[in-house]
Amino acid sequence: DIQMTQSPSSLSASVGDRVTITCRASQSIASYLNWYQQKPGKAPKLLIYAASSLQSGVPSRFSGSGSGTDFTLTISSLQPEDFATYYCQQSYSIPYTFGQGTKLEIK
Protein backbone atom coordinates (compact mmCIF):
# COMPACT_ATOMS: atom_id res chain seq x y z
CA ASP A 1 0.00 0.00 0.00
CA ILE A 2 1.09 3.58 -0.64
CA GLN A 3 1.44 5.49 2.62
CA MET A 4 0.37 9.13 2.63
CA THR A 5 1.88 11.36 5.32
CA GLN A 6 0.60 14.86 5.97
CA SER A 7 2.33 17.62 7.86
CA PRO A 8 1.63 19.24 10.12
CA SER A 9 -1.03 17.15 11.88
CA SER A 10 -2.50 20.34 13.29
CA LEU A 11 -2.07 23.99 12.58
CA SER A 12 -3.26 27.20 14.20
CA ALA A 13 -3.74 30.21 11.99
CA SER A 14 -5.64 33.47 11.78
CA VAL A 15 -8.18 34.78 9.31
CA GLY A 16 -6.29 36.27 6.38
CA ASP A 17 -3.20 34.09 6.81
CA ARG A 18 -1.62 32.12 3.99
CA VAL A 19 -1.47 28.45 4.93
CA THR A 20 0.31 25.51 3.36
CA ILE A 21 -0.28 21.83 4.12
CA THR A 22 2.11 19.18 2.87
CA CYS A 23 1.42 15.61 1.78
CA ARG A 24 4.13 13.08 1.02
CA ALA A 25 3.63 9.72 -0.68
CA SER A 26 5.75 6.68 0.12
CA GLN A 27 6.39 6.22 -3.60
CA SER A 28 5.89 8.25 -6.72
CA ILE A 29 2.25 8.79 -7.59
CA ALA A 30 2.74 11.22 -10.48
CA SER A 31 -0.19 13.67 -10.15
CA TYR A 32 -2.71 11.17 -8.79
CA LEU A 33 -3.36 13.24 -5.69
CA ASN A 34 -6.60 14.69 -4.37
CA TRP A 35 -7.41 17.01 -1.48
CA TYR A 36 -10.58 17.02 0.64
CA GLN A 37 -11.95 19.29 3.33
CA GLN A 38 -14.00 17.88 6.19
CA LYS A 39 -15.91 19.90 8.76
CA PRO A 40 -17.11 18.36 12.04
CA GLY A 41 -20.09 16.08 11.55
CA LYS A 42 -19.98 16.47 7.77
CA ALA A 43 -18.82 14.39 4.85
CA PRO A 44 -15.54 15.22 3.15
CA LYS A 45 -15.73 17.65 0.24
CA LEU A 46 -13.47 17.49 -2.80
CA LEU A 47 -11.29 20.58 -3.21
CA ILE A 48 -8.49 19.67 -5.60
CA TYR A 49 -7.98 16.69 -7.93
CA ALA A 50 -5.07 15.65 -10.11
CA ALA A 51 -2.78 17.54 -7.73
CA SER A 52 -3.67 21.01 -9.01
CA SER A 53 -7.12 21.04 -10.64
CA LEU A 54 -9.68 23.06 -8.70
CA GLN A 55 -13.03 21.32 -8.30
CA SER A 56 -15.97 23.27 -9.67
CA GLY A 57 -17.43 25.62 -7.09
CA VAL A 58 -14.37 25.67 -4.85
CA PRO A 59 -13.02 29.17 -4.11
CA SER A 60 -9.88 30.18 -5.96
CA ARG A 61 -8.02 30.84 -2.71
CA PHE A 62 -7.45 27.07 -2.62
CA SER A 63 -4.65 25.74 -4.80
CA GLY A 64 -2.64 22.56 -5.09
CA SER A 65 0.77 21.77 -6.46
CA GLY A 66 3.33 19.01 -6.67
CA SER A 67 4.00 15.74 -8.44
CA GLY A 68 5.86 12.54 -7.73
CA THR A 69 6.00 12.21 -3.95
CA ASP A 70 5.59 15.75 -2.60
CA PHE A 71 2.43 17.82 -2.74
CA THR A 72 1.07 20.96 -1.15
CA LEU A 73 -2.34 22.48 -0.54
CA THR A 74 -2.28 26.24 -0.14
CA ILE A 75 -5.01 28.53 1.13
CA SER A 76 -4.02 32.03 0.09
CA SER A 77 -6.10 33.99 2.59
CA LEU A 78 -7.88 32.04 5.30
CA GLN A 79 -11.57 32.64 5.73
CA PRO A 80 -13.60 31.69 8.83
CA GLU A 81 -15.28 28.84 6.93
CA ASP A 82 -11.91 27.25 6.09
CA PHE A 83 -11.25 26.00 9.60
CA ALA A 84 -11.63 22.26 9.13
CA THR A 85 -9.62 19.07 8.68
CA TYR A 86 -7.90 18.49 5.35
CA TYR A 87 -7.02 15.12 3.84
CA CYS A 88 -4.91 14.14 0.89
CA GLN A 89 -5.67 10.92 -1.03
CA GLN A 90 -3.82 9.02 -3.73
CA SER A 91 -5.59 7.39 -6.65
CA TYR A 92 -2.44 5.99 -8.26
CA SER A 93 -2.98 2.42 -7.10
CA ILE A 94 -5.36 0.19 -5.21
CA PRO A 95 -5.97 0.44 -2.32
CA TYR A 96 -6.68 4.13 -2.47
CA THR A 97 -5.21 5.64 0.68
CA PHE A 98 -5.64 8.87 2.60
CA GLY A 99 -3.30 10.92 4.71
CA GLN A 100 -3.98 11.08 8.43
CA GLY A 101 -5.43 14.57 8.17
CA THR A 102 -4.38 18.11 9.08
CA LYS A 103 -6.63 19.95 11.50
CA LEU A 104 -6.67 23.67 10.84
CA GLU A 105 -7.71 25.64 13.90
CA ILE A 106 -8.30 29.27 14.68
CA LYS A 107 -5.44 31.02 16.47
**Is 95 a residue that touches other proteins (CB under 8 A)?**
yes
Q: Pick from 14, 16, 43, 80 the residue near other proteins by CB under 8 A.
A: 43
Cα angle 12, 17, 23; round to 5: 65
Position among 21, 32, 78, 83 found at the interface with other proteins (CB under 8 A): 32
Which residue type sits at 34?
Answer: N
Nearest to 83, CA basis, from 38, 50, 42, 47 = 38
Distance CA 30, CA 34 (A): 12
In whole angstroms, the minimum distance from the beta carbon of 33 to other proteins comes to 8
Q: Is 44 in the site for other proteins (CB under 8 A)?
A: yes
Helix, strand or coil for residue 44?
A: coil
CB 90, CB 97: distance < 8 Å: yes
Binding mask of the shown chain, residues 56 to 85, with x at each position contacting other proteins by CB under 8 A:
------------------------------
Q: Per CB under 8 A, does 93 bind other proteins? A: no
54 touching other proteins, by CB under 8 A: no
**Residue 106 lies near other proteins (rule: CB under 8 A):** no
Kindly give, in sequence order, each residue whose CB lies less than 8 Å from that of residue 56, ignoring residues fewer than 6 positions away: none
Interface residues with other proteins (CB under 8 A)? 1, 31-32, 34, 36, 42-46, 49-50, 53, 55, 87, 89, 91, 94-101
